[in-house]
Amino acid sequence: MSEQAGLGPRRLAWMAVTETLKRRVPLDDVMEELSRAENLSARDEALARAIAIVTFRRLGTLGHALRERLNKPPKDERLMHLLAIGAAQILFLDVPDHAAVDSAVELAQGDPKLHHAGGFINAVLRRVAREREQILAENDPWLDTPTWLEERWITQYGEPLATRIAEAHRSLASVDLTVKGEPEAWAERLGGVLLPTGSIRLKERTAIRELPGFEDGEWWVQDAAAALPARLLQAKPGEHIADLCAAPGGKTAQLAAAGAEVLAVDRSAKRLERLEENLARLKLKAETRALDAEKLDAEPFDAILLDAPCSATGTIRRHPDVAWTKSEEDIRKLSGLQARLLDKAATLLKPGGRLVYCTCSLEAEEGERQAEAFLARHPAFTRKPITSDEIGGLTECITPQGDLRTLPSQLAVTEHDRSGLDGFFVARFVHKGSSTG
């Protein structure tokens, strides 16, 4: 007997939310693992991903709404996760209420440990549907941010700006493209908006592979903020440049497109394979090396781009699971790794060489403090301040020290609802020794 239509993607979303929270690993990795076993169509996989992402984006709101409507929250976390994905569909997705409720009931009835909970799930989710307007009216933006992040951001940015960051995280992330050339023409052809930074922002969400120029390798998907570090390196044709921690390869592509001879280093051979596939589509070339960047032994480079592993709290708009799977301990460990990678990069530069350090983090330990500590440890280096004309006039993104700090609440676009930037920190350093030419 065939199962109810739409059950497969909802089962996948439920399993993905449960496994992501249990293992504290990225949702994307869990979805990739689980989707192989489910054998769903591309459309059903997209539905599963949409349900899982909105569940994480509004996890605090969902938990609050469910707890308010339960006499006693169930001890089984999987049951709470099933209620959460059901409520997410009712409150935040264009899904008929009955489809969300009936599928959750059927999933429970097919589960050996939850088969008895069908009536309970039915009652709770129907109440959520009835009280939808009341739930959505409780519009506290901090509901969807873990307390430890709320406290950090208020301390670092002040309450008004921190609140705008939290609000931005509740919105759908934009889709931005980096083009090889002719950005104005491609923006018009793709029906996008040319941002002041040079990226193209799509107005509508669509199948990326079906857009003009994809098969011909004319552009690639890359958040507007993520495109800035490689531009700030100012790569020149023929320069020998290292891209450390390079996968998935958007920055490598930018450097190669500028005519540089690029060595792309990443410790993950699997991620490097994807980088190589992306470069092949884009008809760009770079040498790749599967290696821990701390162990790289190479001739000195003209320039180095270090996009260091970090907590990724700047990508919560795009990857909302980050807020619920990372901890302050992760930030402590990763900041130590970042310092070691910076020290290594300092040994690999020619005199006069340039080093751009960046992280997709909102945390000072992975950004501003890291830059100051590097300069204190390495007196042979000096900061090369970033200027507003290099980033499309976005003066508000430049720190008093001359570094770049982008925030999810910045770059509001009035023409459509795809505003914001990933949160990035970028610092640019120069080796003070005279260049060898």
Work out the mean pLDDT of the chain and round it to a whole number: 94
CA dist 41 → 38, 45, 46 (Å)? 9, 6, 9
Return the pLDDT at 3.
Answer: 55
Question: Taking Cα atoms as reference points, which of 64, 221, 157, 50 lies closest to residue 408?
Answer: 157
Query: In the predicted model, is pLDDT for residue 232 greater than 50?
Result: yes
The full set of domains in the chain, from first to last, is: 7-139 (1.10.940.10), 224-431 (3.40.50.150)
Secondary structure class of 178 (helix, strand, coil): strand
Q: Is there a catalytic annotation at residue 360?
A: yes
Query: In the predicted model, is pLDDT for residue 144 greater than 60?
Result: yes
Return the pLDDT at 42.
Answer: 87
The catalytic position among 245, 310, 358, 360 is 360
Count Cβ atoms below 10 Å from residue 143 Cβ, excluding itself. Answer: 17
250 within 8 A of 360, measured Cβ to Cβ: no
With pLDDT > 70 as the criterion, what percentage of the chain qualifies? 97
Task: Give per-residue pLDDT as tens, 26-83.
Answer: 999 999 999 888 788 888 999 999 999 999 999 999 999 999 999 888 889 999 999 9
Confidence band for 413, pLDDT divided at 50, 70 and 90: low
Query: Mean pLDDT throughout 403-413?
Result: 90
Q: Which residues pair with 381 in a beta bridge?
A: 431
Find the helix or strand (DSSP H, E) in which 78 lies. helix 77-92
Query: In the predicted model, is pLDDT for residue 415 greater than 60?
Result: no
Task: Give per-residue pLDDT as tens, 171-218.
Answer: 888 899 999 999 999 999 999 999 999 999 998 888 899 999 999 999
- How far is it, in rounded angstroms, from Cα 227 to Cα 240? 20
296 within 8 A of 272, measured Cβ to Cβ: no
Confidence band for 416, pLDDT divided at 50, 70 and 90: low
- How far is it, in rounded angstroms, from Cα 199 to Cα 184? 10
Task: Give per-residue pLDDT as tens, 330-378.
Answer: 999 999 999 999 999 999 999 999 999 999 999 999 999 999 999 999 9
Contacts of 93 (CB under 8 A, 6+ apart): 50, 51, 54
Find the helix or strand (DSSP H, E) in which 44 lies. helix 42-57
100 within 8 A of 86, measured Cβ to Cβ: yes
Confidence band for 1, pLDDT divided at 50, 70 and 90: very low
Return the pLDDT at 277.
Answer: 95
CA dist 274 → 249, 250, 258, 286, 335 (Å)? 8, 11, 21, 13, 26
Task: Give per-residue pLDDT as tens, 91-131.
Answer: 999 999 999 999 999 999 999 999 999 999 999 999 999 99
Confidence band for 435, pLDDT divided at 50, 70 and 90: very low
